[in-house]
Amino acid sequence: MARKKSTKTPKAEPAKGVINGAGEVVEQPIVSAIRENFMPYAMSVILSRAIPEIDGFKPSHRKLLFTMYKMGLLNGARTKSANIVGATMKLNPHGDAAIYDTMVRLSRGYEALLHPYVDSKGNFGKFYSRDMAWAASRYTEAKLAPICGELFRDIDKDTVDFIDNYDNTMKEPTLLPASYPSVLVNANTGIAVGMASNICSFNLREICETTAALIRDPEHDIRSTLPAPDFTGGCQILYDEKAFTQVYETGRGSIRLRARYEYDKSANCIDVLSIPASTTCEVIIEKIIDLVKQGKVREIADVRDETGLSGLKITIDLKRGTDPDKLMAKLFKLTTLEDAYACNFNVLIAGVPRVLGVRELLQEWIAFRVECVKRRTFFDRTKKAERLHLLKGLEKILLDIDKAIRIIRETDEEAEVVPNLMIGFGIDQTQAEYVAEIKLRHLNREYILKRTQDIEDLEREIAELDEILKSKARIKTIIVKELRAVAEKYGQPRKSMIIYEDTAVYTEEAEEIPDYACTFFFTKEGYFKKITPQSLRMSNSQKLKEGDEITQEMEFSNNCDLLFFTDKAQVYKTKASDFADTKASVLGEYVAAKLGMDEGENAVYMVATKDYRGYLLFGFENGKAAKVPLEAYATKTNRKKLTGAYSDKSPLAGVLWLAEDTEIIFSSSSGRRLLVHTGAISLKTTRSTQGVAVMKLKKGHRLFALQPYTEGTFLKPQRYRAKSLPAAGALPSAEDAGDEQLSLI
């Protein structure tokens, strides 16, 4: 009988309500819904997709490589990639596109790994190119690279556990018994839910040497044998002692990478031959073109991508007279030709994600490899013991072959041969089965002597294996021997050059900015002009927007910093050289548009400085004032925008830059004036400080202006001074009231 569809309208509750079945609504708390649905998904992504395990592989990598191994592609000829993808789908249920993408990233042609696992043929794209797409799987061919023999060494000797695939029709390994620390040899990146992993690559020879030394001496200085990571692109690594120590000890940190370039004097061009692993050619070229269009880089005539069969190459044509090293120093600062590689050594250890330093990670691998060698040794011992058991039974038979032949001939039924042999010689069924299958041609003296010798050899070998199983030191010796063999066979020279501070001084050179005298003008509407003295002498009549007026005028130089404070409690930093020289007959540049300010944000005050000396005095409409050192706005990096430039608790009444303490006139909307020496206002190091109360205000009135006091402004200045703060100030006397400087705006 069909269920009657409910006509009940569900309540509009954001935390409850899921549809279950045909129109039936079941209320369910949002907390339990997330726990039952999202948490299993998150755990699946962390444990089964994104985070690599101690063998250095994610499940998708392991399934692909194991499938290729079972297809005989370790020693056989290449096969079409489509065949590999199809076979891998028996283990990996995520679809052919995802499987092929995985294979591409492991291939030699893609060039993303120091030691590729897939020997590819055809177009597999390039890791350093965003737009170079790889060919479809039906066009390319692949097989396993020789180094994969180290990944699958003794995998058939019970070195690792096997589990059922997703439909229980096949077995697949939970880990690969890699004979070297592949987890650190090839780069690996993964983004899970709530966590990520980003492991940089290290040189195989250096990793094997370090691991062997760590096995011998747990206190071994890792940095002595493993100086830095190694990247497949061959980029340069900027050596930073503090950053490297953090990465090696904690597994987190940032490494600075820099492109490698050569200068072709005959063609007057720079050839970039390698780039950081965290960027692409297209990103770099687009950024350079953008810098040229903005006028920030004027030394470049052309830039193009000349990547070909010989490898990566970005060519930058220079204008005549350009210093290539100084240009590259500028490009290192402005583009991703120098970039940071963020390390996050997050690895699954026994099903638990852990962020480990290099030492801890290698120790975990050593423990894993010790277990693999133990299991392999026990497997070999078991097989030899089984063989010895059979030969022991054969030995008893060979001592009296005539008796064995007589028992077999006198047995009427075939099924009784094995039981009769067991009774006649006191052997078990397994031994009797083995003896019964011996051929007549083997019943000779030579065969008997060889089998007797085999018994002695097996007994000696089993004793040797027993000694290995009892001694952890001997197991570690075996691992060290295998590591050295791998390093000798597959090791290659370091690709990435380490640049130390003494050879990278030129990166710290300041950009050469022409320095000359000029006058800055800043208007009430937010327009800025930079005019040279020569141009100013020709015409001193300033063109302004209707209703606009100049609020600040100062003589300074072209090589200085400009700080523009806005009405949204932010400050924008720029260089005076970023503004073009102009004339008095133009409006100037609109600062808000030039610096990309937020919508509705306007610049209200300008500061020019070279050394960030002096301090700023902020006055707020609530009568408070804050004195902040200008050096609080100095930054080591070229940050364009600083939030929290001053307190936003009350609207800003005015800003003044002061080289030293002096007297300031505070003016309120009630007409009162207060003369305050800034030495009475304490200096605050926090930019967003609310300041101290300076002027007492009547209800409905506000502080609206600040201006420096000059001698002669007031006939009786003592009238406006106060013994303590806050103070209300005084109304102007008849003589002072006529002063235009104090007229209300």
Q: Active-site residues: which are they?
A: 139
Listed as own residue / partner, the contacts of 410-413 with beta carbons closer than 8 Å and 24 or more positions apart are: none
DSSP-derived secondary structure letter, 682: P
The full 3-state SS of 312-377, as one line of letters, equals CCEEEEECCCCCHHHHHHHHHHHCCCEEEEEEECEEEECCEEEECCHHHHHHHHHHHHHHHHHHHH
Instruction: Please report which residue ranges of 508-607 form alpha helices under DSSP H.
Output: 533-538, 591-594
Strand (E) or helix (H) holding 249: helix 241-250
Buried b (16+ CB within 10 A) or exposed e, 46-74: bbeebbbbbbbbbbbbbbbbbbbbebebb
How far apart CA 669 and CA 653 sit, in angstroms, is: 11
SS3 of 247, please?
A: helix
SS3 of 535, please?
A: helix
DSSP-derived secondary structure letter, 65: H
Q: Are strands 570-575 and 641-643 parallel, antiparallel or unpaired?
A: antiparallel
CA atoms within 13 A on the CB side of 608: 19
Buried b (16+ CB within 10 A) or exposed e, 17-40: eeeeeeeebeeeeeeeeeeeeeee
Given a contact cutoff of 8 angstroms between Cβ atoms, the answer to whether 625 and 691 are in contact is yes
DSSP-derived secondary structure letter, 723: S
SS3 of 693, please?
A: strand
Read off φ and ψ for residue 53, nearest 5 degrees: -105, -175
CA atoms within 13 A on the CB side of 87: 18
How far apart CA 162 and CA 157 sit, in angstroms, is: 11
How far apart CA 21 and CA 200 sit, in angstroms, is: 49
All residues at 6 or more sequence positions from 617 whose CB lies less than 8 Å from its CB, including other chains = 625, 626, 627, 655, 656, 657, 658, 664, 678, 681, 706
User: Strand ranges (DSSP E) for 547-636?
Assistant: 550-557, 561-566, 570-575, 589-590, 603-609, 615-620, 624-629
Given a contact cutoff of 8 angstroms between Cβ atoms, the answer to whether 271 and 314 are in contact is yes
And the tokens for 658?
A: 């002061």
Cis, peptide link before residue 726, omega less than 30° from 0: yes
How far apart CA 707 and CA 617 sit, in angstroms, is: 10
SS3 of 490, please?
A: helix
And the tokens for 103?
A: 């294979």
Give the position of tokens 């008095």. 584
And the tokens for 355?
A: 């962020």
The amino acid at 421 = L
Read off φ and ψ for residue 730, nearest 5 degrees: -140, 150
Measured between alpha carbons, how far apart are the two ends of the chain, in Å? Answer: 85
And the tokens for 34?
A: 């997330």
Q: Are strands 517-523 and 561-566 parallel, antiparallel or unpaired?
A: unpaired
How far apart CA 164 and CA 174 sit, in angstroms, is: 10
And the tokens for 210?
A: 């370090």
